[in-house]
Amino acid sequence: MNIFEKIITGEIPSKKILENSKFLAFHDIAPKAPIHALVIPKQSIKDFNAITPELMKEMSEFILEVVEELGIKESGYRLITNIGNDGGQEVPHLHFHILGGAKLKWPELI
Protein backbone atom coordinates (compact mmCIF):
# COMPACT_ATOMS: atom_id res chain seq x y z
CA MET A 1 0.00 0.00 0.00
CA ASN A 2 1.30 3.50 -0.78
CA ILE A 3 1.07 6.34 1.70
CA PHE A 4 -2.23 7.73 0.39
CA GLU A 5 -3.89 4.31 0.51
CA LYS A 6 -2.82 4.13 4.16
CA ILE A 7 -4.34 7.58 4.74
CA ILE A 8 -7.61 6.35 3.18
CA THR A 9 -7.74 3.32 5.50
CA GLY A 10 -6.75 5.46 8.50
CA GLU A 11 -3.52 3.52 9.07
CA ILE A 12 -1.72 6.86 8.68
CA PRO A 13 -3.47 9.83 10.31
CA SER A 14 -4.25 12.98 8.32
CA LYS A 15 -5.84 16.36 8.91
CA LYS A 16 -9.07 15.82 6.97
CA ILE A 17 -10.89 18.68 5.29
CA LEU A 18 -13.74 16.91 3.52
CA GLU A 19 -14.67 13.34 2.69
CA ASN A 20 -17.39 11.43 0.87
CA SER A 21 -17.74 7.85 -0.33
CA LYS A 22 -15.42 8.41 -3.31
CA PHE A 23 -12.95 11.17 -2.38
CA LEU A 24 -10.88 12.52 0.49
CA ALA A 25 -9.31 15.96 0.99
CA PHE A 26 -6.66 16.54 3.64
CA HIS A 27 -3.86 18.97 4.45
CA ASP A 28 -0.41 18.31 2.94
CA ILE A 29 2.15 17.36 5.57
CA ALA A 30 4.75 19.74 4.05
CA PRO A 31 2.74 22.78 2.93
CA LYS A 32 4.15 24.88 0.09
CA ALA A 33 1.63 27.71 0.71
CA PRO A 34 -0.51 28.92 3.65
CA ILE A 35 -3.17 26.53 2.39
CA HIS A 36 -1.98 23.30 0.78
CA ALA A 37 -4.57 20.56 0.47
CA LEU A 38 -4.51 17.24 -1.36
CA VAL A 39 -7.53 15.66 -3.00
CA ILE A 40 -7.47 11.95 -3.75
CA PRO A 41 -9.95 9.38 -5.07
CA LYS A 42 -10.53 6.43 -2.76
CA GLN A 43 -10.22 4.04 -5.70
CA SER A 44 -6.71 3.07 -6.69
CA ILE A 45 -5.67 5.16 -9.72
CA LYS A 46 -2.01 5.82 -10.41
CA ASP A 47 -2.12 9.22 -12.04
CA PHE A 48 -3.96 11.61 -14.34
CA ASN A 49 -3.11 9.41 -17.36
CA ALA A 50 -5.56 6.85 -16.02
CA ILE A 51 -8.44 9.24 -15.32
CA THR A 52 -11.84 8.77 -16.97
CA PRO A 53 -14.27 11.55 -17.94
CA GLU A 54 -16.69 10.36 -15.24
CA LEU A 55 -14.03 10.44 -12.52
CA MET A 56 -12.80 13.85 -13.71
CA LYS A 57 -16.34 15.20 -13.46
CA GLU A 58 -16.93 13.83 -9.97
CA MET A 59 -13.50 14.89 -8.76
CA SER A 60 -13.98 18.41 -10.12
CA GLU A 61 -17.27 18.71 -8.24
CA PHE A 62 -15.58 17.50 -5.05
CA ILE A 63 -12.63 19.89 -5.50
CA LEU A 64 -15.11 22.78 -5.80
CA GLU A 65 -16.67 21.73 -2.48
CA VAL A 66 -13.20 21.64 -0.92
CA VAL A 67 -12.23 25.15 -2.07
CA GLU A 68 -15.57 26.43 -0.72
CA GLU A 69 -14.83 24.72 2.59
CA LEU A 70 -11.33 26.26 2.65
CA GLY A 71 -12.77 29.72 1.85
CA ILE A 72 -10.51 30.31 -1.16
CA LYS A 73 -12.95 29.90 -4.04
CA GLU A 74 -13.17 33.64 -4.68
CA SER A 75 -9.68 34.73 -3.56
CA GLY A 76 -8.13 32.18 -5.92
CA TYR A 77 -5.95 29.13 -5.76
CA ARG A 78 -3.78 26.85 -7.86
CA LEU A 79 -4.68 23.31 -8.85
CA ILE A 80 -1.81 21.00 -9.74
CA THR A 81 -1.45 17.33 -10.49
CA ASN A 82 2.04 15.92 -10.98
CA ILE A 83 2.38 12.97 -13.35
CA GLY A 84 5.26 10.53 -13.49
CA ASN A 85 8.97 11.10 -13.23
CA ASP A 86 9.31 14.36 -15.16
CA GLY A 87 6.17 15.69 -13.49
CA GLY A 88 7.76 15.14 -10.08
CA GLN A 89 5.09 12.76 -8.80
CA GLU A 90 6.23 11.16 -5.53
CA VAL A 91 3.13 9.23 -4.52
CA PRO A 92 1.75 6.87 -7.21
CA HIS A 93 -1.90 7.57 -6.40
CA LEU A 94 -3.78 10.26 -8.37
CA HIS A 95 -3.95 13.51 -6.39
CA PHE A 96 -4.61 17.18 -6.98
CA HIS A 97 -2.75 19.78 -4.95
CA ILE A 98 -4.83 22.84 -3.98
CA LEU A 99 -2.58 25.77 -3.09
CA GLY A 100 -3.80 29.13 -1.84
CA GLY A 101 -4.13 31.55 1.02
CA ALA A 102 -1.63 34.01 -0.52
CA LYS A 103 -0.72 35.52 -3.89
CA LEU A 104 1.28 32.68 -5.39
CA LYS A 105 4.42 33.13 -7.46
CA TRP A 106 5.03 31.29 -10.68
CA PRO A 107 8.42 29.70 -10.00
CA GLU A 108 11.14 28.66 -12.42
CA LEU A 109 10.40 25.01 -13.13
CA ILE A 110 13.71 23.82 -14.57
Contacts 24+ apart (CB under 8 A), 82-86: 83/47, 83/48, 83/49, 84/47, 84/49
95 is catalytic: yes
Of the candidates 30, 85, 108, 110, which one interacts with ligand 5GP according to CB under 6 A? Answer: 30
Smallest gap from residue 83 Cβ to ligand 5GP (A): 9
Stretch that binds ligand 5GP, among 27-35, 52-60, 63-71, 101-109 (CB under 6 A): 27-35
From first CA to last CA, the distance across the chain in angstroms is 31
Say if CB 100 and CB 9 are below 8 A apart: no
Closest to 38 measured CA to CA, from 108, 105, 110, 89? 89
* Closest to ligand 5GP by CB, 29 or 102: 29
* Closest to ligand 5GP by CB, 16 or 22: 16
- Residue 38 CB: number of other CB atoms within 10 A? 21
96 binds ligand 5GP (CB under 6 A): no
Of the candidates 8, 23, 25, 26, which one interacts with ligand 5GP according to CB under 6 A? Answer: 26
Among 36, 93, 95, 97, the one annotated catalytic: 95
Q: Residues interacting with ligand 5GP, by CB under 6 A?
A: 3, 12, 14, 26-30, 38, 82, 88-91
